[in-house]
Amino acid sequence: MKYGFVKTAAATPKIRVADCEYNAEQIISLAKEAYENGASLVVFPELCVTGYTCSDLFFQTALLISAEKGAEKIISSTRELDIVIVFGAPVAVKQSLYNCAITIYKGEILGIVPKVNIPNYSEFYEVRQFMSGKNINECISFAGKKCVDISKNLLFQCSHMSDFSFGIEICEDLWVADSPSINLAKNGAAIICNLSSSDDVIGKAQYRRDLVKMQSGKLCCAYIYSDSGFGESTTDMVFSGQNIISENATVISESCRFNHGIIYADIDVEKLMEERRKTNTYNSNSDIDHIKVKYFDMNKREIKLTRKFPQTPFVPSDKSDLENRCEEIITIQATGLATRLEHTGIKNVVLGLSGGLDSTLALIVCVHTFDMLGLDRKNIHTVTMPCFGTTKRTKSNAEKLAEAYGVSFEEINISVAVLQHFKDIMHDEKITDITYENSQARERTQILMDLSNKYNGLVIGTGDLSELALGWATYNGDHMSMYAVNVSIPKTLVRYLTAYEAKIADETLKEVLLDVLATPVSPELLPPDDQGKIAQKTEDVVGPYELHDFFLYYMVRFGFAPSKIYYMAKIAFSGKYRDEVIKKWLTVFVKRFFAQQFKRSCLPDGPKVGSVTLSPRSDWRMPSDASVNAWLKDLENA
């Protein structure tokens, strides 16, 4: 449960219909297995103590007595286990019978939640045996325990970790328009447990999966769906045991159908709560039903996560859909630029083309934009401005790119102008410091701005999201433009987008794009080495961009503390970077992120593509002089 991760389980026991003693033993066995595997919460199917398909046998006193004894056995046999267990059983209250979820922890019943929506169609005719639990709100005696709350309005919460909170609904409750989970989630339930017995027919499995997935997304929660399986299939119905655990519209664990056993998932309840806090439309309404919170005193403990974290969270995880996503992203970028050109009536753009990765993607976007608007590509004015650090490789690639795309191209060597500037400000050209570097960057921006006047065009910015996060941009140099097309594209995604363009390009263009991808990332502001190759490599100075993009995603998207990001990064990059290396670059990232906010406070416009952007006008509002101390202290203690 450290850092907000809760290991959960959905279990399907192999049962015998109406054999409560046998079924209780199976539930106990799986509960112990779940506990031994580190789970803090395990959910069993609907009416699993008796079997869902007992039908009119539910009217038999012998079955109800046996079910209550089975529940009592489960409670007493798991009292030493530090795990919350939720299982299904029939519960008689006065003259009514309810289909219920029993929630237990260390030998105590935390509460009983009745099913609210009772189906009455052909294959499921529960209305014949069970009452709706919509209005019941009582204290009852059950399974040897006195004064146990039974109500649909119960929320269960860990005393030592308030984000670990869950509510319960049962099978049909999910399929109706007004699910109990809506009220439970609004009142703080980060997890919804569904005890189900859903028969299988052709096509139902995918619909059920989509329903669980979308409910978790709609409610910004985790959803644990535990389904009946082998042994329940009797008479006219077959049950497949399709267990599903979904987190905020993403299925993170799913069982093989027509089987029994346990699936596990590490749910990040802290992430879910942070997501809700950032969504100001996600709030409690005054007319929702009163919820009673039932606390359980489970201490936080570190678990061995089985959950994996992608090294490139900005890149679509579904590789089969990556091409479609790349096309969509480039189209969003191009549409943003097209809108600006249409609005201003401008039909020209000016772009500094270095032959590096970012300016290449900017050119790709410009080409897509001009094709979209039906404008002549010759109105894309690309300029290469070699100076002290420019290598033959990048200069050549810039020329080849312009030729392959059929855009205008010119070369303006800025060496003489920069040397004159050094004289003007009395800087020794032999001192290759930050003044030496930034003078070149600002000279290039000045030329681009003046050319924009000459051609009546917009200067297109090439800087990406990763550089903005690190402040790796020269203020009033490459930091400035009239429209920044890459402003919300992180470096790791820039690579994928360029690679996608190479895949669909002709052989000539493909060759140069692949060489751009193989070129080390560099601003080329320092002289090349003795062999004429790039000497100044950005990642040698600020660290690997794949690490920084990982840090950026979880810090800005979810507000995670550096210690948690470090914990996750160690898992994601295990075997690739040593722990001390990850911590070193995370420290660099945090320091630079805070120190460089002033550069982000005056960014030019640019298209928003993903959920993480740093625009000061909408997506990221941060004081330029905020103290970084709390974040650094958190990381020091990790």
Residue positions annotated with a catalytic role: 46, 115, 171
Q: Map tokens 């644990």 to a residue.
A: 224
Q: How many CB atoms lie within 10 A of CB 449?
A: 14
User: 563 Cβ partners below 8 Å, 6+ apart?
Assistant: 3, 634, 635, 637, 638
CA 598 – CA 48 distance, rounded (Å) = 60
CA 467 – CA 606 distance, rounded (Å) = 15
Q: Which amino acid is at 30?
A: L
Q: Strand pairing partners for 165?
A: 157
DSSP state, residue 239: B
CA 357 – CA 534 distance, rounded (Å) = 14
* CA distances, 231 to each of 34, 48, 50, 83, 294 (Å): 21, 10, 11, 26, 33
Residue 322: strand, helix, or coil? helix
Helices (H) and strands (E) in the chain, counts: 20, 20
CA 127 – CA 145 distance, rounded (Å) = 28
CA 625 – CA 73 distance, rounded (Å) = 61
CA 571 – CA 573 distance, rounded (Å) = 6
- Are 167 and 182 contacting, i.e. CB atoms less than 8 angstroms apart? no
CA 117 – CA 119 distance, rounded (Å) = 6
Q: Strand pairing partners for 145?
A: 142
Strands in 160-234 per DSSP E = 161-170, 191-196, 222-227
Find the angle CA(421)-CA(423)-CA(424) to the nearest 5 degrees. Answer: 60
CA 340 – CA 337 distance, rounded (Å) = 5
User: 485 Cβ partners below 8 Å, 6+ apart?
Assistant: 333, 336, 337, 361, 362, 365, 366, 460, 461, 462, 606, 607
Please name which of 135, 132, 218, 122 lies closest in space to residue 173, comparing C-alpha atoms. Answer: 132
Please name which of 504, 502, 512, 531 lies closest in space to residue 398, comparing C-alpha atoms. Answer: 512
Residue 264 parent element (H or E): strand 261-268
Please name which of 251, 264, 188 lies closest in space to residue 8, comparing C-alpha atoms. Answer: 264
Residue 295: strand, helix, or coil? strand
- Are 51 and 232 contacting, i.e. CB atoms less than 8 angstroms apart? yes
Structure tokens at 579: 């722990």
